[in-house]
Structure 1
């Protein structure tokens, strides 16, 4: 990570969804590496990490929150868009507002945060790590909104990498299922079974740190990280 933080502080990395799941694992990894994690989320992260409350489905508010926290921190060395939501079900059964929110948080919120962060990342020659999913490259039933959003993140990130080449590092992370609370509120039919092969989010966070640690001019373009026997890949 290149440094853009105040003297005496480590590189500053903004993490969306940093209060839980993969986002929280990235916050921990950044802090352990000597960096300075910042969080955008609807709930406060643990450990006194600097954060701004934000609903990423409100894209203009997400932009403003990103600019605010970046300015207060004195810049950004990296952005990790780990926030994600899903409500699985057949298209006809998922409420329209819920369907729209899945796309808004996962795709439109990602683009909004990156858009607002770009001036800071260009100054630091920093890195963006977007978080897609194995369901961004493999479609399954009862996941039309999530697949649409994550397929969108894949396309967005690949286009972004071409657009920002030589100015900002861009990495697309494609994680498989992880042992997080992401599945907790689902109906039983959509929850992983007790013998499911899921990754520890700390292991996926380590891949994020690898991408963030690349020097300017060297980009890890795409990473697929999943449990060895996780069935969503390939």
Structure 2
């Protein structure tokens, strides 16, 4: 039986890889993003920095899907730089999109997920367990996702499956708009997002009563983990 899966950030990067994996599995992905996903995938346009709009979009998606079996919060952004050099509104947008919108979407999806005994997969980062310079917003947000997800797993135990996925650097367009000093070098070792998407689908597919709590998925020579 195909599963109804809500994927934030599903138009690019890891989110798009999860959409691909879901379609190959015969599932029904539904995307919330600012840009359209691949052809044929239903979606709602939403700026996740507006958390009330994110909640409304989630409720609308659940209604259109007729229920919900899983949520994958793959939307994320980063604007690296020293704390004093990153504009306050930019710094706060990173935290809002990466952390607060994650909570907002899951909050709105909880009634449907509880009814279906569905699964939640949140996406943190290796920089959610290891702090580095010039990444205060991203580390604050992703450390927050780690803590939020662990608390949520305790809160929803027996009702909804909750998995924290911690990816290392991936070959996506995530780094494209950065200043050159913050882009991976030509010899950077990055993982294929399809590998992380496969781990996400493994977590989403766990049967009732089995919990995959946390997964770290990175290139073998990832420098930011452990």
Q: Does 1:192 align with 2:184?
A: yes
Q: What is the deviation of 1:230?
A: 1.2
| Runs of 4+ with >4 A deviation | none
Aligned to 2:90: 98
Q: What is the deviation of 1:47?
A: 1.8
Which structure 2 residues correspond to residues 223-234 of structure 1 after superposition, within 5 A?
Answer: 223-234=215-226
Q: Does 1:82 align with 2:67?
A: no
Q: What is the deviation of 1:55?
A: 0.7
CA offsets 1:24-82 (integer angstroms, 9 cap, x no match): 00000001001000000000001220000011110000000000011111011000000
Q: Does 1:217 align with 2:223?
A: no
Q: What is the deviation of 1:229?
A: 0.4
User: Which of 108, 115, 118 does residue 110 from structure 2 map onto?
Assistant: 118
CA offsets 1:112-163 (integer angstroms, 9 cap, x no match): 0000000010111100000000000000000000000000000000000000
Which structure 2 residues correspond to residues 53-202 of structure 1 after superposition, within 5 A?
Answer: 53-202=45-194
Distance 1:159 1:173 in 2: 15
Q: What is the deviation of 1:185?
A: 0.4
Distance 1:151 1:224 in 2: 14
The answer for unaligned runs of 5 or more in structure 2 is none
The secondary structure found in structure 2 opposite 1:148 is helix
The secondary structure found in structure 2 opposite 1:79 is strand
User: Which of 1, 4, 7 does residue 15 from structure 1 map onto?
Assistant: 7
The answer for unaligned runs of 5 or more in structure 1 is 4-9
Aligned to 1:48: 40
Distance 2:77 2:137 in 1: 10
Q: What is the deviation of 1:217?
A: 1.1
Aligned to 1:6: none
Q: How many residues align?
A: 226
